[in-house]
Chain A
Amino acid sequence: MTAAIRANLPVFAVIAPLFVAFVLPTFARRTRLVEGLVIFVQAVGLWGTAYLARLVLAQGGLPIIYEVGGWSAPWGIELVVGNLGAFFLLVVAGVSLPVAIYASGNLAKEVEGARRRAWFYVLYLLLGGALAGMSITNDLFNVFVLVEVATLSCCGLVSASQEPSGAEAAFNYLILATLGSGMILGGIGFLYIVTGHLNMGFAARALATVWQDYPHVVWMAISFFMVGFGVKAAFFPLHIWLPDAHSVAPSPASAVLSGLAVKGYIICLMKVLFHVVGPELMQVFSLNRLLVLLGMVAILIGSILALGQDELKRRLAFSTVAQIGYIFLGMGLLNVKGMTGALFHIASHGIIKSALFLAAGAVITQTGKERVSELAGVGKKMPITMGVFTIASLGLVGIPLFSGFVGKWYMLLGSLGAGDYLAAAVIVAGSVLCAGYLFPVIRVAYFEPAPADDWQEPGVRQRLALILLAMGIFVLGTIPGPLLELALAAATDFLVFN
């Protein structure tokens, strides 16, 4: 029995959350059971992915290849748990567990009605399953299906907010994201027409030999992928839907949307660009320059826009736009250091941004204040929540000892290795701007006199989740160990063996 589970672990990572998601509605009114089951499946998922990651590391980076239904590669669907897959599975499981714990405590204050909350968890698990699938699938069409599952559950999570602006943000998000899906499907179609394969490995091999015969079709395919995934990952200037959607969603939803969902699309784009198209072809089409350039613009514009926001969650949402810019910049450098930095930033930003959104959500539900300028003295009334917010801010700014520093360090090494001094300057300038939009929150919270209102810390579960995330930020910043190894190995896979 255990042997069977172990052998099928990759597919369980995807279908276990999906299965639980389908079962949940049958006992939607029993909130405790629903919450318990969600946390249980996430905890088991974390254990399973940790096991998989250990296996991959022990094999020295050799991927675990799982053939779904026993059909082998060009015909069947492959799940490949390689360095990249194990890395992102670990990130997804590691972030979604604390967020689920937080949601079990805080959701009652943000979403009314037991049934609605149960449906929220259904969408949450669907998103988790889809992200897990996106990290390990090796099939282009499978990518499309999982991206669609993720997109629909994201839109559902955004619309879970009762405010009418939630429905509007969700609709705008849905329309743009579906436009993006159409683009992605079109890109897959072009690649399929040119190469005759949907399996990434086979498609890559075929593309390497035939691309010179159909340069325009390949060009079209790449542009479709860039725009499609770019819209979904909120890559500047396609980010317009993000601030509305991420700021209006309930706080656990904002946390996974900003922390994980956009990263899932980036991972898929990375796979397509580096595994299928390949770094050489990217250089031929000057894609790397485009990525670095837009990444720099995203960092600067996103940060500057964040400076101007008074609504706390909107400020954090714009910050996500800037941080996505870092990841694309690191990707575009086309060297192992930069790529490692980008991948590690995916992990560290996932944890940090979740912590920030959850802390902001706790502050908002406990005090009812949504604006930075109204938060005077919160730090004294809610020391744990704001303490975690402070740690996460230090992490995002990139102070050593916190996880953000490691990613930025590698991206700096990468950009200087590529001789791109402007990119290095922008990376550092982004950090300074990041301090510019996060420290005022901390200053207002701690160093301004508190009003007489009786503000309380959130419940035990919320505090536990926040502390877990803060510890994660600290551990990743000091002993990133296996996660950094996986990121390094994945970056090497991307750039060296292709």
Chain B
Amino acid sequence: MTDIILALLSGLVGGIVIALLPQASNRLRNTLVLLFSVAGAVFSWRVAGTVFSGGTIRLSGEIAGLAWSLQPDPLGTVFGLIVATLWLFATVYSFGYMADEPRQRTYYAFLLIAFSVALGVAFSGSLLSLYLFYELLTFATYPLVIHERNDEAIRAGVKYIAYSLCGAGAILIAIVVTHGWAGSLDFAGGPLLARGGLRPGLGWLLGLYVAGFGVKAAIMPLHRWLPEAMIAPTPISALLHAVAVVYSGVYGILRVVYSVFGHELMAQMNFSRALPWVAGFTILAGVIIATQQDVLKRRLAYHTISQLSYILLGAFTLHPWGLAGAIFHMISYSTLKITLFFGAGIVAKQTTKIRVSDMGGVGWQLPWTMASFGVASLGMIGMLPLNTFWSKYYLMRGSVAGGKWPFALVLIISGFINALCFLPTVVAAFTGDRDQLSREKGGNVTLMVAPTVLLAGIAVLLGLWPGLVWPGVEAVVNSFFIR
């Protein structure tokens, strides 16, 4: 019980402490930031320990007559662990990347506050608290998006807020309708709408939810804010726009499918048959657009759009194997994508090259970075020694077993296009003159390279021993399919 409160508070308190600290030295501030992030991560792991060993943690109360609750179930815990673990890596990377940037106080304060809010999304036990944290996440991350404070950043910020608020509005209406039909918003008692069975308007409700959460999950055509938001500093792009913020949208959709509607009800609805097609379209369209982008971060952004729909596709198969693939992909994709972004950030910082076409020979200057980048690229294709192989395997198995075999084909085609998307870059990076000066020297660079290499290592490790995370995936699937 205290673990969850402390996990949620450590980021918030840390953020306030950092904000109130007048222009302190970088060293002191970084130490404090690290301290609070580690505290948040440790407490999240303790929460996870309790949940996966079969315990229940529940905090509940009323806001203005509406019941809210915090009750991490396996799905929420997995999301929380991804957030808490990767936040640490991104924080360390930030120490290197942001070392000589202005406005560090604002940056770290909101980074910590956003950490709390993201954990809040993960640990929510009811739609109301999920909505609250989901909405707050928009505001907590807004200052990070406009960190550059130039016109382009401001415009990206406006777009981000506008898209997110419209999505949240759709969700609010949907929640009110759900409240009217189900009488409760708490996830603990099984799928909310399952008891009512089929009724007219259910398809519209699902559409509202998917459109609402789909904004943050960047389902096409609601994805436009994401490439613009890449104006943010790289750690933010890596952490928020490849993982935490976009995952909150994906997580919301998973919740809606499995905790609000329930897979049995979804299977009876006509509308839910259309959803895998939307996801399949986004997978292919996203990655094809990605290959056309020359600016590396934009390419990665469109690639994110494509990969998020892998997870959604797995969820929409409504089959245990599909869901297992989706959860596995949530874990494995996030490690790889952060590696890719970190690599892109190091290249940009050390060589000022942001375009793919300029990156010939970069690999000899930044061997560790580009090696990790190469490993992650292989992962995006779904090669065996990497963790995404397993997630793709389960996704395909789920599609076929769920009677939706065309989507297995989509995944295979997407794998090929992924290869086209990243491999040429990696190959080009390791051509040309080998005897170049290494640019990976110095404390700040080490702070950036170390987390990158470590994450690539974790990805390989999970690829070789998927059993490390399998119990978590299994727990999620069991919690929804075996009742």
Contacts and interface: CB of A to CB of B under 8 A. Distances in A.
Question: Is there direct touching of A and B in the complex, by C-beta distance under 8 Å?
Answer: yes
B161 A435 contact: yes
A439 to B, nearest CB: 7
Contacts of B135: 399-400
Nearest to A412: B176
Interface bracket on A: 20 to 34
Given A400-B135, A432-B165, A447-B149, A413 B172 contact: no
Interface string A438-481: 01000100111100000000000000000000000000111110
B169 A429 contact: yes
Interface in A339-356: none
A416 B172 contact: no
A448 B162 contact: no
Given A399-B136, A401-B63, A432-B165, A413 B179 contact: yes
Given A428-B173, A429-B169, A432-B165, A447 B65 contact: no
Contacts of A477: 63-64
Given A401-B63, A435-B161, A409 B173 contact: no
A484 B64 CA distance: 8
Contacts of B169: 428-429, 431-432
A60 interface: no
Contacts of B32: none
B128 A416 contact: no
A424 B173 contact: yes
A431 B135 CA distance: 13
Given A479-B64, A484-B65, A400 B132 contact: yes
Contacts of A431: 165, 169
A490 to B, nearest CB: 16
A425 interface: yes
A480 B131 CA distance: 20
B176 A409 contact: yes
A446 B162 CA distance: 19
A342 B456 CA distance: 55
Contacts of A443: 146, 154, 157
A425 B169 CA distance: 8
Interface in B149-187: 149, 154, 157, 161-162, 165-166, 169-170, 172-173, 176-177, 179-180
Interface in B321-362: none
A432 B64 CA distance: 22
A156 B176 CA distance: 44
B66 interface: yes
B180 A417 contact: yes
B68 to A, nearest CB: 8
A436 B162 contact: yes
A406 interface: yes
B143 interface: yes
B176 A405 contact: no
B173 A425 contact: yes
Contact of A439 (B161, B177, B179): B161
A434 to B, nearest CB: 10
A416 B143 CA distance: 35
A439 B64 CA distance: 25
Nearest to A476: B64
B173 to A, nearest CB: 5
Interface string A384-415: 00000000001001011100011001001100
Interface string B124-136: 0000100110011
Nearest to B61: A478
B162 A432 contact: yes
Contacts of A428: 169-170, 172-173
Contacts of A405: 64
Nearest to B133: A400
Contacts of B146: 443, 447
B170 A413 contact: no
What are the 7 closest A-B residue pairs judged by CB atoms, nearest first? A428-B169, A400-B132, A406-B64, A412-B176, A432-B165, A480-B64, A424-B173
Interface of B: 63-66, 128, 131-132, 135-136, 139, 143, 146, 149, 154, 157, 161-162, 165-166, 169-170, 172-173, 176-177, 179-180
Interface of A: 394, 397, 399-401, 405-406, 409, 412-413, 416-417, 424-425, 428-429, 431-432, 435-436, 439, 443, 446-449, 476-480, 484
Given A399-B139, A416-B176, 6 more contacts: A409-B64, A416-B177, A424-B173, A428-B172, A428-B173, A432-B165
